[in-house]
Every structure is written in C-alpha cells, then in structure tokens.
C-alpha cells in the first residue's frame, strides 16, 4: 500500500521530466497548486477505493458473527500498522473511514463480538486510533510524532477541489486554518517525507508484482465496476455502490421491526 500510494502521490520515483512538467519536486507540493487538479482527483479516487475495499472485506464476510469480528480485528491491526510501522497516514485514514461508515457501524453484534473476542483491538480502536483520526481531520499536527512517509492529504485535497472537509461547524474557520497549515508543513518538509518513504521501501523490502497490481487504483476500478463501468461518472458509481453496501449490511444484521401492538395508533 505504501509503495503504490507513494507512486500515485508522486513521492518516490519522480523523474526529472515529471519534475519539469509539475514545476516542483514532488506531489506533496503539487497538490497545493492550481495545476495539481488531476493529482488531487487521483488521490481522492484512490482514497475512496481503499475505503470501499475495506468495507467489502468486512461486509462480504457472510460467515458467523465471530468470523466477521475477526475480520474487523484484522482491519484494526492494518490501520495500526499503517500508522505505526509504515507511517502512511493517507491509507490509514482511508481504512479508518471504512470503519466509520454507517454500514459498518450499525453491525452491533459484530462490534460486541469484537469487544468480547478481541478486547485489545477494540480498546486500541476506541481509545487510540479514533481520537488520533479525529485530530487529523481537524488538522492538529501536534498528534503526529516521528517521521512520516505519506501525510494526511485528504482535507487539503478536498478544500482545493471545492469540497468542505470540515464536520465541526462551530470550529469551521479554525479547522480550515489548521488544515492549510498542515498542508504548508507537508509541502515544506516534502524532501523529508520522500527520504523516509524511500528508506522504508528499500531496506529489506522486496515487492511482489502481483500484490502491487492488486493495490493499484486501476485494478480496483475494474474490480468494482468492470471495464465499462469504471469510466462512468464518479458520483453515479459511488451512489450505486453505496446502495450495494447497504444491502450487504442489512443482510448480515437485519433491522428488527417491532411488531405494532393491537389498537396502537398509526
């Protein structure tokens, strides 16, 4: 995931020709500039596809509740590894976004099984990963400790593309300011991020070509929507897939309808 993310974000493997065309040395700088529109669109698409992939892994587990809780446990461990081991906050935030999707959150039996069978993971998610993610959303860079390979780019990308990343209306201006400051810091320290990413991808790590292909954005597009559907309007694609996830979620844990009492008012 780190390798492909760094290629898409143009953090590693950037050629001199690419630098000349971009006018800067890395994608961490390009995303802050007006002519970085296509890169921002690519990053937003990739981020959402990672989220959908994780959601499908969980909702596609049609076995027992305990089996589904085990998948949830492994996804939480993946989020922790992305944060702590490879310092990839881009994919980390995509995985966390999946765990916060309404179709996943509503699976009460699954979450109860997680707390019962994988207590440490449940505590990790609630007490450490969720608060950290909330701080990232608000542009609070003070929670980020140590070197980072891929910063949390999504709030800035949304702002630059005319979308509102601010969920807290009361602190909207403050959060927007923090997001812009975090983006400025990421661009300023782009060489540090590049060096750290390169060290992680060269020290004792050998890529598996088949896995690299499976993690590419183009592969996910074809997998979810097919060759023709992948070129359809993005909003339409997402809306249709969201409905599919709702159906999968409802099948796993159907909504219990309380029977109406005789004589009750309608």
Going from the C-alpha of 259 to that of each of 62, 109, 217, 239, 255, the distances in angstroms are: 27, 21, 46, 32, 12
Is residue 110 within 8 A of residue 63, CB to CB? The reply is no
Is residue 43 within 8 A of residue 168, CB to CB? The reply is no
Beta bridge partners of 150: 88
Consecutive sets of 10 residues in the chain, 266 residues long: mean pLDDT of each?
A: 96 94 96 96 97 97 96 98 97 98 97 98 98 90 91 93 75 86 92 95 86 93 90 92 96 75 49
Can you give the pLDDT at residue 217?
A: 94
Can you give the pLDDT at residue 265?
A: 45
Structure tokens at 109: 């039996």
pTM, full prediction:
0.93
Going from the C-alpha of 9 to that of each of 50, 175, 221, the distances in angstroms are: 14, 24, 18
Return d(Cα 46, Cα 119) in angstroms, integer. Answer: 31
Structure tokens at 95: 């995985």
Which of 100, 5, 52, 37 lies closest to 221 in space, CA to CA?
52
Can you give the pLDDT at residue 81?
A: 97
Is residue 96 within 8 A of residue 133, CB to CB? The reply is yes
């Amino acid at each position: 995931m780190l390798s492909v993310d760094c290629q898409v974000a143009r953090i590693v493997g950037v050629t001199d020709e690419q630098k000349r065309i971009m006018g800067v040395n890395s994608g961490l700088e390009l995303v802050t500039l007006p002519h970085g529109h296509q890169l921002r669109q690519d990053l937003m698409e990739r981020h959402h596809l990672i989220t959908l992939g994780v959601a499908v892994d969980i909702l596609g587990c049609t076995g027992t509740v305990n089996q589904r809780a085990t998948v949830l446990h492994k996804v939480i461990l993946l989020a922790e590894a992305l944060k702590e081991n490879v310092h990839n906050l881009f994919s980390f935030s995509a995985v966390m976004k999946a765990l916060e999707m309404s179709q996943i959150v509503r699976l009460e039996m699954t979450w109860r099984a997680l707390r019962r069978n994988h207590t440490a993971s449940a505590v990790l998610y609630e007490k450490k990963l969720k608060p950290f993610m909330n701080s990232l959303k608000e542009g609070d860079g003070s929670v980020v400790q140590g070197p980072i390979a891929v910063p949390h780019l999504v709030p800035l990308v949304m702002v630059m593309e005319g979308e509102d990343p601010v969920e807290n209306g009361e602190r909207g201006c403050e959060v927007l300011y923090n997001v812009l400051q975090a983006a400025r810091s990421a661009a300023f320290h782009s060489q540090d991020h590049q060096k750290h990413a390169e060290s992680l991808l060269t020290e004792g790590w050998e890529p598996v070509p088949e896995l690299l292909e499976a993690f590419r954005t183009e592969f996910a597009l074809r997998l979810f929507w097919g060759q023709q559907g992948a070129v359809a309007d993005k909003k339409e694609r997402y809306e249709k897939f969201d409905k599919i996830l709702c159906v999968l979620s409802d099948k796993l844990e159907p909504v219990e309808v309380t029977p109406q009492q005789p004589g009750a008012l309608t």
